[in-house]
Structure 1
Amino acid sequence: MTQPALPDTPRTRDVFIIGGGPAGLTAAYELLRNSDAFHTTVFEGSHMVGGIARTETSNGYRFDIGGHRFFTKVPDVQRMWRDVMGDDFITVPRLSRIYYRGRFFSYPLKIFNALENIGVYESFRIMASYLKWRVRPHRVEDTFEQWVMNRFGGRLYMHFFRSYTEKVWGISPSNIRADWAAQRIKNLSLTKAVWNSISGANDTASLIEEFQYPRLGPGQMWEKTRDIIEESGGTVLMNAPVGRVLRHGMRVTGIETTDAGGTTALHDVGDGAVINSMALRDLIRAFDPPPPPEVVEAANRLNYRDFLIVTLVLNKADPFPDNWIYVHAPEVKVGRIQNFRAWSADMLPDKDTASIGMEYFCQEGDGLWTMSDDDLRDLAGRELEQLGLASAEDVIGAAVIRQPKAYPVYDGDYQQALETVGNWLRRLENFQTVGRNGLHRYNNQDHSMLSAMYAARNLMGEDHDVWNVNVDRSYHEEFEVTRKAS
């Protein structure tokens, strides 16, 4: 990336960044590539960068913690991806399906495939239900259930939205706020889905037909970003979880980390600044002295959905061609299945094997989370066979990764709680919070990065509200980053 000439001044201001995921690393990258006035230190609690966008390895097999497509209409994010990845970016065709009632439905919807699978009679009932809800919709759209029914009808909601949503979130869709649906599936309706399937048109971001992808998985992006940060004079400390955030009044004064041996280190913020990407609930609990009781109570009401993936190595080539399959069937626990070769052939060391990711949505401490790795391998193998994709006997290897706080939950309490927490955090003089968990927003990777870019630019004299990154606009309209000098 070509940069403007910068004055030859020493980096004098420290910026401490909590979290080495996409948001935290983007903030450090943005500061170091655009200014000589800062020294950045990133604190990452684990041994790997990338957060939920990291790429794990086991016996030479590389696998993601959930699929991460690289697609955006935010030019600055696209530019950073290209600058960091260079020739290691590949173009991947999207192929995904829904498994429901023993059949595979194309996704995005293909009208004749859907009619064949669900039958003419049930298709008629779906259309009748759709027309009914268009004529007499819910008068309010407070919940996910109401939002979807108004756009797809009650019958289609029952078939394709209710069971999968309950599996992902562990709660009824009637207890999920409508703004989650508006953020994730805006610009899609039944009529548009049918028209797209007939015409081949598609302007819905979640249904793109191809995307960019790092050759060795999304973690490669963040490993290379870490290297650039360190080459540029920044510091990335691994295995350095933040235990306390010290403050005096409304100014953060110190960051305390603990290493693997239990030794604590206090980092003096001085006249520097802090950018956070750790989960808000954990952040508020880390402040010393603590925020007012009502802020602590509100943070405790912010909930998260956890996740684990069982990657199975099969002794034969890919059992299906999809990047991933959404499993709506309630008779199995698996929620989504990935085929890692369909993302990149370089993710596998042996072309005669397959690497399959069985994804399970759960809560830390529940029955799935606490199952032994051997039991999870057996469960995943049985369910792969139950779905008719491969035999359990084909499994020759497995690895299990558990990911806490994978998704911020949009339940009935979150809006009021988030407003209380956010209003207090905005008052801090030298502190900003960014990213998916740092904003408690189910952002895609690019929007987490954009919030971090805004935070970095604020330190360079611009004026952006990181809490109000316009998620919808950046996908559905041409997005232009406005720079305002302070």
Structure 2
Amino acid sequence: MNVETLIIGAGPAGLTTAYELTKAGHSVAIVERDPVYVGGISRTVNYKGYRFDIGGHRFFSKSAEVEAWWTEIMGNEMLQRPRSSRIYYNGKLFDYPLRAGDALAKLGPVEALRCVISYGWAQIRPHRNVVSFEQWVVNNFGRRLFEIFFKTYTEKVWGMDCGDISADWAAQRIKGLNLYQAIIQSFGLGKKPSGSDGVIKTLINSFRYPRLGPGQMWERARDKIVDQGGTMMMGSTITAISQHAETGKWIAIVTDAQGKETKITADHLVSTAAVNELVRMLGADADPAVAAAAKGLRYRDFLIIGLITRGKESFDDNWIYIHDPSVKVGRIQNFKSWSPDMVPDPNTACYGMEYFCNAGDDTWDMSDADLIARAKQEIGQLGLAEPQDIIDGSVVRQPKAYPVYDDTYKINVDTITEGLEEQFTNLHLAGRNGMHKYNNQDHAMMTGILTAKNIIAGSSVHDVWGVNEDAEYHEGGSAGDDKIEERLVPRRIA
């Protein structure tokens, strides 16, 4: 097989690139390891008719081009859904974003007073040399609010102590989320914000969502790519790949699940695979510096347990953040609130119990039966469902869900990309893992759109790596203002 572009991975970036290229008349082949699902971490798993996401995916973009792309693919099957999420703390559900009256009523007068005193003490005796996430939050909100609304969930997601996370992440990620304005100012205390810096960014109150989940979007994109002449190679892996020294042609051996091999030649190679895997695949780790950099990149893994229950759902949130250290679950999805059609029987509900972990740790290595038993016990302990009403469950593991930023990640990524540029031509990196950037779905799509434009133009007229590096809080503002914002990841203190 000879194609103009060979793409590794059928996630949002890979499929977006393929769609744009085939739409422009270019020949494309996509190699995807999964035998069934496309969409990567944005896929939707179908378990006995119950559809659940690998995490939640709100379709909301600052890019008018991405918003139009979604409409082009899905048409009128993009629903407009209300945003609803809350924080679980101390047996109560707090509105998120926090509202003063709700927070005060649920914290109670004694705890609210403790928060005020804690905030006041932090203003009198702040940390002078702020280097950690914990110190930054305590200085800005007081220790009580840090322990209530920041510590537990952050440590569950990233597997790091808040004292080990760099303060710069807090300063960027939490800007505009002024809890003291919501609670402390209810007592008439605290400094009033002034100027534009004091305006709290509002979170989106509605978003678009495919009727059958994000996987429906990517299944549609896959079908359109095939209709436009593209080739999908599901359940396949690249077992050998090289670039011809004289012609610059890429030569790959693709092996399917039955062991059948296909030789593919291509002018361009687009990789959305984890960049350290690409380094090994290309043999670029023969360079000691590139090998060390690839080894230095870290990831956070993830698994979700779908629980099917009889009866009406017990909450209508899209998801609930679990700020309770007595349970391992970090977030709980209610898939019927994303779309009623995700649940085939209206007399049942489907919850997604999210666990953040590392491949090979105790949680990751638990059997599916034990994980389902833990999820049933924990959702019952939290009072969000009755264990005896849970009639079935399914486990999905997602390795390398979140590229992790630490004090050396940028140097490692730069070393790898410079090494690859020296050794290869017409190699394009795109997407979350392909670029080692923990970004939103629309950001990954934009890297795919720009990659396709570069291939069509025959030169790097668009800076794929520069897709918004100022990284403001993504869910503030309005959709379609042509500004995509990269999600942030905490760094370890150098």
TM range (shorter): 0.7 to 0.9
How far the C-alpha of 1:194 sits from its partner, in A, is: 6.2
> 2 CA distance for matches of 1:298 and 1:326?
34
- Alpha-carbon offset, residue 81 of structure 1: 0.5
Contact 2:468/2:483 (8 A) holds in 1: no
Show the counterpart of 1:407: 402
Alpha-carbon distance, 1:155 to partner = 3.4
**Correspondence 1:443 to 2:431:** no
Q: Does 1:373 align with 2:368?
A: yes
3-state SS of paired residue (2:276) = helix
Q: What's the offset of the Cα at 1:141?
A: 6.4
Deviation at 1:23, TM superposition (A): 0.7
**C-alpha deviation, 1:290, in angstroms:** 3.4
Identify the residue that residue 92 of structure 2 maps to in structure 1: 103
- The amino acid across from 1:224 in the alignment is R
Structure 1 residue ranges, 4+ long, deviating more than 6 angstroms after superposition: 134-137, 194-198
**How far apart are 1:190 and its partner, in Å?**
3.2
Separation in 1 of the partners of 2:186 and 2:346? 34
Cα-to-partner distance string for 1:21-75 (whole Å, 9 max, x where unaligned): 0010011112222x23x21111111021000000111111111110000001101
Which amino acid is the alignment partner of residue 401 of structure 1? V
Q: Contact between 2:284 and 2:419, CA under 8 Å: does it hold in 1?
A: no
From 292, 300, 314, the counterpart of 2:287: 292
Partner of 2:15: 25
Q: Which residue is equivalent to 1:45? A: 33
Quick check: 1:386 aligned with 2:381?
yes
The residue aligned with 1:8 is: none
Q: Which moved more, 1:132-141 or 1:368-377?
A: 132-141
Instruction: State the match for 1:319 in structure 2.
Output: 314
The CA deviation at 1:263 is: 3.7
Residue 265 of structure 2 corresponds to which residue in structure 1? 268
Q: Is the CA contact 1:434–1:448 (under 8 Å) kept in the aligned structure 2? A: yes
Deviations 1:327-354 (A, max 9, x none): 1101011111111111111011110011
- Tell me which amino acid in the other structure corresponds to 1:41: A
SS of residue in 2 equivalent to 1:66: coil
CA drift of 1:253 comes to 2.6
Counterpart-to-counterpart distance in 2, 1:180 and 1:256: 42
- 1:293-313 deviation digits (Å, cap 9, x = unpaired): 111111111111111111111
Which amino acid is the alignment partner of residue 122 of structure 1?
E
- The one-letter amino acid of 2:351's match is I
Q: Give 1:173's match in structure 2, choosing from 136, 140, 162.
A: 162
Query: Aligned ranges for residues 325-364 of structure 1 at < 5 Å?
Result: 325-364=320-359
Q: Which moved more, 1:288-297 or 1:46-55?
A: 288-297
> What CA distance in whole angstroms lies between the structure 2 residues aligned with 1:189 and 1:288?
49
The Cα shift of 1:408 comes to 0.9
Q: Of 420, 426, 429, which residue of structure 1 is paired with 2:425? A: 429
Q: 1:411 is matched by which residue type in structure 2?
A: D
Residues 51 and 167 of structure 1: CA distance in aligned 2, closer, same or farther (over 3 Å):
same
Deviation at 1:148, TM superposition (A): 3.8
Cα 1:204–1:224 shift into 2, 3 Å: farther
Residue number in structure 1 paired with 2:488: none
Ranked by relative contact order (alpha carbons within 8 Å, sequence separation 6 or more), the top structure is 2
SS of the residue aligned with 2:257?
coil
Which whole-Å CA distance do the structure 2 matches of 1:295 and 1:143 have between them?
30
- Across the aligned residues of Structure 1 and Structure 2, the Cα RMSD in angstroms comes to 2.9
In the alignment, structure 1 residue 83 sits paired with structure 2 residue 72: yes
**How many residues are aligned here?**
464
Identity between Structure 1 and Structure 2 (%): 47
Equivalent AA in structure 1 for residue 465 of structure 2? W
Partner of 1:235: 231
**Residue 188 of structure 1, CA deviation:** 3.0
Which deviates more, 137-146 or 151-160?
137-146
TM-score when normalising by structure 2:
0.86
Does the aligned pair in 2 maintain the 1:336–1:360 contact within 8 Å?
Answer: yes
Residues 151 and 314 (structure 1 numbering): CA distance in 2 closer, same or farther, change over 3 Å?
same
- Please tell me the residue identity of whatever aligns with 1:451: T
